[in-house]
């Protein structure tokens, strides 16, 4: 039995569906389904009831959840401690970051990575649900928002700013809001994820009390496309909006939110040469391009230390 099946089991327990679990794990939906079937076959028990509203645990599944969490932690500890003795700059490093941050900022700036580390295979997992370095689902996380674990080791670089933007064509046709109350006459396209998934969820509540939220979307790429096509005012990270000449910042002093940008890993992995190499490379990349990524008021980066 592949013990990794329990990791897939826990992802389905948390996300309630194969597709959501697959997005979290960075694999395909059939892969998750196959791993669950393998585990059920090995245990000779049905672990989930497949219902219209999602996957729910059977009594057999409920009996192993706590044990599976313990196993997942133990296996993760073993892997990290053994990896901590590896002094080679080679092999795979799994990096988790948000879809928008990875697509529009990080990946276009990685051209020099393979030249610097030709023997490191960087696996980039794009997910709006940040993977936890403490669970072993990734080695490194470039994460917007407060770290979820007090045991994570990392560096805070400053604030990533989020705001309200609109295309020039939309504003020409509908006028430019001059105050918050004016948003009642405009349509807003907003993030559809939960507040804990991406911090821009915190902007939606005050907007919803004034503006008409006429579209929700769980993809940053689609949000950007909607804003550029003139469908309405759209909530975006400032580092994305700055790259689009046809987008204008709306009510920047009123509709605004910022969250810390963290580069995180598990404390045991700081002894691993390949992880330290990637952490150092990404740190230099962020520090070298703070103007394109962080808010102007961001402070000097904090040194590598315990996250909280």
Q: Angle, nearest 10°, between helix axes 29-43 and 18-25? A: 110
Question: Does residue 191 surpass a pLDDT of 90?
Answer: no
Query: Average per-residue pLDDT in the chain?
Result: 80
- Paired with 135 in beta bridges are none
Q: In this predicted structure, what is the pLDDT of residue 303?
A: 38
Q: In this predicted structure, what is the pLDDT of residue 199?
A: 44
The tens digit of pLDDT for each residue in 200-254 reads: 555 655 666 777 778 888 788 888 999 999 999 998 888 888 888 899 999 888 8
The tens digit of pLDDT for each residue in 4-56 reads: 788 888 888 888 888 888 877 777 888 888 889 988 998 888 999 887 778 88
| Residues 97 and 126: beta-carbon distance below 8 Å | yes
Domains within the chain, CATH numbers bracketed: 5-83 (1.10.10.10), 91-155+260-292+299-306 (3.40.190.10), 160-258 (3.40.190.10)
Among residues 150, 155, 128, which one has the least CA distance to residue 140?
A: 155
Q: Please indicate, yes or no, whether the overall pTM of this predicted structure exceeds 0.85.
A: no
């Amino acid at each position: 039995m592949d013990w990794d099946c329990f990791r897939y089991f826990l992802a389905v327990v948390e996300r309630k569906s194969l597709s959501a679990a697959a997005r979290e794990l960075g694999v395909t939906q059939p892969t998750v389904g196959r791993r669950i079937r393998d585990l059920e076959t090995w245990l000779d028990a049905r672990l989930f009831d497949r219902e219209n509203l999602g996957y729910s645990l059977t009594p057999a599944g409920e009996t192993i959840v706590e044990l599976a969490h313990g196993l997942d932690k133990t296996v993760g500890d073993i892997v990290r401690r053994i990896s901590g003795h590896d002094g080679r700059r080679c092999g795979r490093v799994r990096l988790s970051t948000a879809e928008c941050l990875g697509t529009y900022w990080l990946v276009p700036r990685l051209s020099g990575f393979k030249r610097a580390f030709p023997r490191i295979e960087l696996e980039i997992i794009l997910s709006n649900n940040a993977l936890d370095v403490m669970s072993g689902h990734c080695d490194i996380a470039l994460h917007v928002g407060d770290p979820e674990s007090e045991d994570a080791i990392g560096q805070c670089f400053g604030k990533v700013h989020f705001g309200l933007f609109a295309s020039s064509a939309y504003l020409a046709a509908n006028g430019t809001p001059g105050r918050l109350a004016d948003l009642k006459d405009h349509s807003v396209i907003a993030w559809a994820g939960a507040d804990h998934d991406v911090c821009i969820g915190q902007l939606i509540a005050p907007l919803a009390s004034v503006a008409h939220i006429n579209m929700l979307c769980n993809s940053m790429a689609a949000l950007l496309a909607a804003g550029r096509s003139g469908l309405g005012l759209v909530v975006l990270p400032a580092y994305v909006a700055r790259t689009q000449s046809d987008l204008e910042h709306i009510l920047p002093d009123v509709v605004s939110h910022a969250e810390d940008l963290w580069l995180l890993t598990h404390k045991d992995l700081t002894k691993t040469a390949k992880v330290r190499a990637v952490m150092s490379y990404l740190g230099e990349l962020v520090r070298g391009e703070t103007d394109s990524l962080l808010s102007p008021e961001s402070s000097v980066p904090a040194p590598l230390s315990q996250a909280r």
